[in-house]
């Protein structure tokens, strides 16, 4: 399975969810025998949260969004906010009829993104979280010069340079 448009850290943890399909994306990713992500070089970072200002996308049941917002603020996401729609009134609604909260956390929190994922998932009202920890096997980054950087789960990094023929 390949996902596009993610933010990936040095350990191949990823943030995905700008399109508000967290639950479905996570089900597909976990069902895949191999999970690979593809992104451009701007989404390759040492730590999550350093080049994605909105933060961690969190899918929540509508009834619980106010409580989950407070809980996320208690966990350290002081600027957590309900994602509002752009071309319609009201919040963004996921494919499953839920709301999305964008929860930015600091760099210190992202030293252990799996811990952030676990803490958020334990909040009552949370359906799914746009953090993909310990499931990405490889990440392919298209670079501005046309080359491709491949980062693998075993820590190896490979550079593919376009042929000039």
Q: Report the catalytic residues.
A: 25
Contact 135, 125 (CB under 8 A): no
Angle between helices 113-121 and 65-75 (to 10 degrees): 150
Tally helices (H) and strands (E) across the chain: 3, 12
Alpha helices of 3-125 — where are they, by DSSP H? 22-31, 65-75, 113-121
**148 by DSSP, 3-state: which?**
strand
Which residue bears the tokens 């298209």?
142
Say which DSSP state 6 is in. Answer: -
């Amino acid at each position: 399975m390949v996902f596009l448009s993610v933010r990936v850290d040095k350990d191949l943890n990823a943030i995905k969810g700008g399109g508000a399909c967290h639950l479905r994306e996570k089900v597909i990713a976990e069902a895949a025998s191999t999970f690979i992500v593809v992104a451009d070089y701007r989404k390759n970072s040492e730590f999550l949260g350093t080049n994605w200002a909105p933060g961690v996308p969190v899918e929540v049941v509508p009834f619980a969004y106010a409580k989950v917002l407070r809980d996320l603020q208690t966990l350290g996401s002081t600027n957590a906010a309900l994602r509002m729609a752009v071309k319609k009134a009201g919040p963004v609604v996921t494919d499953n009829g839920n709301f999305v909260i964008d929860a930015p956390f600091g760099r210190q929190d992202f030293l252990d993104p799996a811990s952030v994922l676990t803490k958020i998932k334990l909040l009552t009202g949370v359906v799914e979280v746009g953090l993909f920890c310990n499931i990405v096997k490889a990440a392919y980054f298209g670079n501005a010069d046309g080359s491709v950087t491949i980062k693998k789960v075993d820590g190896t990094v490979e550079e593919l340079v376009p042929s000039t023929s």
